[in-house]
Amino acid sequence: MAAAAAKLKGGRLCSICNDRRPALKRPKTLEQICRECFYAVFEDEIHNVIVENQLFKPGERIAIGASGGKDSTVLAYVLSELNRRHNYGLDLFLLSVDEGITGYRDDSLETVKRNEIQYGLPLKVVSYKELYGWTMDEIVKLIGLKNNCTFCGVFRRQALDRGAALLKVDKLVTGHNADDIAETVLLNILRGDIARLSRCTSITTGEDGPIPRCKPFKYTYEKEIVIYPFCWLDYFSTECIYSPNAYRGFAREFIKDLERMRPRAILDIIKSGEDFRISASTKMPEQGNCERCGYISSQKWCKACVLLEGLNRGLPKLGIGRSRGLNNEQNKDMKQTDGTKSMQSKQCGTLDF
């Protein structure tokens, strides 16, 4: 009767419960729904993704990549809630990387430390300085703003793996959302990167490595992640000060334009990425291990070791772009003594602090 009375008065009702007044138009479907129903469908969809893809097993130790931003903060909260509500039986940990960016990462880590207390999840922080002997502030001072994201992306990926190894976890989960994955599909097409294109839409990657990575937000829109923590989750919202001109930004703007015209475009791009079939005749890189640090690599040296060697020799551009030449010449280079900073104490493979 209440719903009928509301309709007679010209009021629109939530398209899901048909009882309460709608509070928002859902970005993914354009349904007009109430806030209570939005929270419910948001959490239920993530739960269904976890169950349908069998992301976890009872008793597993799971590290949540936590930057303090909206994606990782919502992931930490939702995963801890679903773990309790649906009895996943998981041991959850927060894992953060301190890249050494003054005025950005130091502030966001304070948010993560508050999340540690708010969610009751143990926190582990690993830093570039401890692992590599360099901070991003020092790297940018040496190389400038161009190509700095190359260094940070490579170092960060390895730092997360090394932190996860220190925590002795079974899997690492990240807050990569549907927008991120759609952007990556486009970037890999533009770059002609067949190797990454064949796996960039996988919800679980690195299964052949030491610690697999999972993306529970694979089908979750960024706009909905922004709406979800409204007024009650504590997160850090400032963008990295060194990435305003990152190449990914162009793909991000293109995705946003497509979404404005057709909200389902994001899911369509992900689906197209999932449906790509790589020709059997295409030669894929052979996975091995870095001769220097032991990390997974398709070359004799992993990308982090190549970049770090360039930094330590005062030749930061040495590892930018194709590094095949350096890998072929590495044995000769190592025999030369140039008086530059030694890598012996800060190799990229170290797990000792």
Binding residues for ATP: 65-67, 71, 97, 175, 180
Phi, psi of 91 (to 5 degrees): -100, 115
Ramachandran bin of 35, using left for φ above 0, alpha for ψ from -120 to 50, beta for the remaining angles:
alpha
Query: Which residues contact residue 243 at a Cβ distance below 8 angstroms, ignoring those fewer than 6 apart?
Result: 148, 149, 249
Q: Per the annotation, where are the binding residues?
A: 65-67, 71, 97, 175, 180
Contact assessment for residue 161 and residue 151, using Cβ atoms and an 8 Å cutoff: no
What is the rounded distance in angstroms from the CA atom of residue 346 to the CA atom of residue 353? Answer: 10
The rounded distance, in Å, linking the Cα atoms of 134 and 136 is 7
Nearest Cα residue to 338 out of 301, 312, 302, 317: 312
CB 301 within 8 A of CB 292: yes
Q: What is the DSSP-derived secondary structure letter of residue 202?
A: -
